Amino acid sequence: MIKVSKFLAMSAIVASALTMIVGCQSKSGPKKITIGFSQVGAESEWRTANTVSIKQAATDFGINLQFSDAMNRQENQIKAIRSFIAQKVDVIAFSPTTTSGWETVLQEAQRAKIPVILLDRGVDVKDESLYVTLMGSDFKVEGERAGNWLVEYMNSKGRGNETINVVELQGTVGSDPAIQRKAGFDEVIKKYPNYKVIRSQTGDFTRALGKEVMEAFLKAEGKNIHVLFAHNDDMAIGAIQAIEEYGLKPGQDIIIVSIDGVKGAFEAMIAGKLNCTVECSPLLGPQLMQAAIDLKNGKTLPRRVLTEEGVFPAEVAAKEFPNRKY
Ligand code: GYE
């Protein structure tokens, strides 16, 4: 009996030693890095381009990507993050639906010693050590850019001293881009007392709701509306339809500025229906993959990685269109 158990114990040791050797020196080279990524959903052209960028970059960088679509629900994101922790992925990354409500699950990731990268959107947590970096745009600056473009445009049309009634289509309630874009735009506009935001409501970053809410704005205010500021291009595109159906000319009767710079916005500008888009690049995949590799190699990442972006008024749309990558 003793001999048998000794033999069993010995073979167990040999077997585990073998698996260790095979595991370390497998023919496919070093072990692949696994990233668990929780995406917001598929609410906009921006989001779709962002998902494509992440999936493509994972393939290009040889990274194993566990991709999970939260369908715009925070509870789905929390579930996905918990399952990434259970799977012991190397890195967790996500674009948070909203800024609040992340403390508990991020503490769980920290306890499991899995680094967390925030991609695109930020969170509101007291303990900043709960994530290693935030990579994406400065949404407040985007809102300011939209406001500044509008003021300059109105001045250039000789309308700088008129009363300018603005309606605003906000992004998803409580999301980082909706909060910051509103704040940036408001900060600029409040310097000019003739500008007034007369209606402001969420269109949840979608075309369908952008159209629906714009219809309600038109019903309530009609020709009183001079300007539409939409927190993303998709809502502006939905609103353009509503304006046309109402019998007004988008881009003329109502000046429209939005954010993202997706192809659909360039098409609308070329058609004369949108006046300006402020760029927000969704092409964040390669930098996410590089960051995961850097983390694995023990490098410290900068706390904030900002995307460089521009402003595209309708006058340059046709020339810029062929250069657009999303
Ligand atoms: O502007 C909008 C999308 O978080 C920057 O989310 C992103 C925003 C983008 O749905 O179109």
pLDDT digits (tens, 9 = 90+) for 171-211: 999 999 999 999 999 999 999 999 999 999 999 999 999 99
- For residues 162 and 242, membership in a common domain is answered with yes
Query: What is the predicted pLDDT for the residue at 19?
Result: 46
pLDDT of residue 28: 56
Return the ligand 1 atom nearest residue 41 CA: 10
pLDDT of residue 256: 99
Q: Based on the domain organization, do 265 and 171 belong to the same domain?
A: yes
Q: Which residues line ligand 1 (CB under 6 A)?
A: 43-44, 46-47, 120-121, 177, 205, 232, 234, 259-260, 280
Residues 56 and 171 in one domain: no
Contacts with 2 (C-beta within 8 Å, 6 or more apart), sequence order: none
Long-range contacts of 109-114 (CB under 8 A, 24+ apart): 109/81, 109/84, 109/85, 112/85, 112/88, 114/84, 114/85, 114/88, 114/89, 114/90
Residue 105 and residue 195 in one domain: no
> Which letter does DSSP use for residue 240 in this model?
H
CA of 179 relative to ligand 1 center, distance in Å: 12
Give the count of domains, the chain. Answer: 2
Euclidean distance between CA atoms 148 and 21, whole angstroms: 62
Residue 176's CATH number = 3.40.50.2300
Note the pLDDT tens digit of each residue in 58-100.
999 999 999 999 999 999 999 999 999 999 999 999 999 999 9
Q: At 135, is the secondary structure helix, strand, or coil?
A: strand
Percent of residues in the chain assigned helix, strand, coil, to nearest 5: 50, 20, 30
- Going from the Cα of 14 to the center of ligand 1, the distance in angstroms, rounded, reads 53
Shared domain for 224 and 291, answered yes or no, is: no
Both 85 and 143 in one domain: the answer is no
Per-residue pLDDT of the chain (326 residues; tens, 9 = 90+): 344 444 444 454 544 444 444 444 445 567 899 999 999 999 999 999 999 999 999 999 999 999 999 999 999 999 999 999 999 999 999 999 999 999 999 999 999 999 999 999 999 999 999 999 999 999 999 999 999 999 999 999 999 999 999 999 999 999 999 999 999 999 999 999 999 999 999 999 999 999 999 999 999 999 999 999 999 999 999 999 999 999 999 999 999 999 999 999 999 999 999 999 999 999 999 999 999 999 999 999 999 999 999 999 999 999 999 999 99
Query: Is there a single domain that holds both residue 91 and residue 201?
Result: no
Cβ–Cβ < 8 Å for 222, 248:
no
170 and 106 within one domain: no
The Å distance, Cα 104 to ligand 1 centre, comes to 25
User: Which of ligand 1's atoms lies nearest the C-alpha of 231?
Assistant: 1
Separation of CA 193 from chain center: 32
What is the position in ligand 1's atom list of the atom closest to the CA of 282?
5
Residue 316 placed within a domain: no
pTM confidence score: 0.91
Single out the residue of 96, 95, 33 nearest to residue 66, CA to CA: 33
CA of 226 to the centre of ligand 1 (A): 25
Ligand 1, atom 8, residue with closest C-alpha: 177
Q: What spacing in Å lies between the alpha carbon of 38 and ligand 1's midpoint?
A: 15
Distance CA 107, CA 260 (A): 32
Residues 59, 166 within the same domain: no
- Let me know whether 116 and 86 are in one domain: yes
Residue 24 is predicted with a pLDDT of 45
Q: What is the dihedral of CA 292, 297, 298, 302, to 10 degrees?
A: -40
Which of the 8 DSSP states describes residue 99?
S
321: in domain: no
- Same domain for 241 and 164: yes
The residue written with tokens 């999303």 in the block is: 326
Where in the sequence is the domain holding 118, given as residue range(s)?
34-135+283-307
Report pLDDT for 30. 76
Residue 19 covered by a domain = no
Does 162 share its domain with 258? yes
